[in-house]
Amino acid sequence: MTTDTDGDTAGEREQRIAETEIDVQSEDGAETFTLAEMMADLSVGHYELDAYRRSALVYCDALDERRRQAQEDGEEKVAELLAEIREVAYSLHERIDSDDEAPREEPDY
């Protein structure tokens, strides 16, 4: 039987996570979450941030390619618009990336 540093078995730990509740205040009012619900939500948040970061870079590449095409075709107004949108995409990537610079260890739930 596996125990953690406090002497709990894995089953006891999982039960405690499933049963422990926390009241959270937000702009929408108060909600009660179990630790298991919070952990699941945080896990989804990490996944979504990674997906947004990757998508922003994919958009940057696509916008760069389309901008080159617009410039070759003499569509300067379109090229300018594409450059502006590319900056928005890249700023999203930088915003996520700068918050992600600190080494992050995925929690072992």
Q: What is the pLDDT of residue 4?
A: 58
Give per-residue pLDDT as tens, 2-60: 555 667 788 999 999 999 999 999 888 999 999 999 999 999 999 999 999 999 999 99
Give per-residue pLDDT as tens, 49-77: 999 999 999 999 999 999 999 999 999 99
Give per-residue pLDDT as tens, 75-87: 999 999 999 999 9
Burial bucket for residue 83 (CB in 10 Å: 0-12, 13-18, 19+):
middle
Report the amino acid identity of residue 99: D
Q: What is the mean pLDDT of the chain?
A: 88
Q: What is the pLDDT of residue 35?
A: 96
As a whole number of angstroms, the distance between CA 50 and CA 92 comes to 11
Q: What is the pLDDT of residue 98?
A: 86
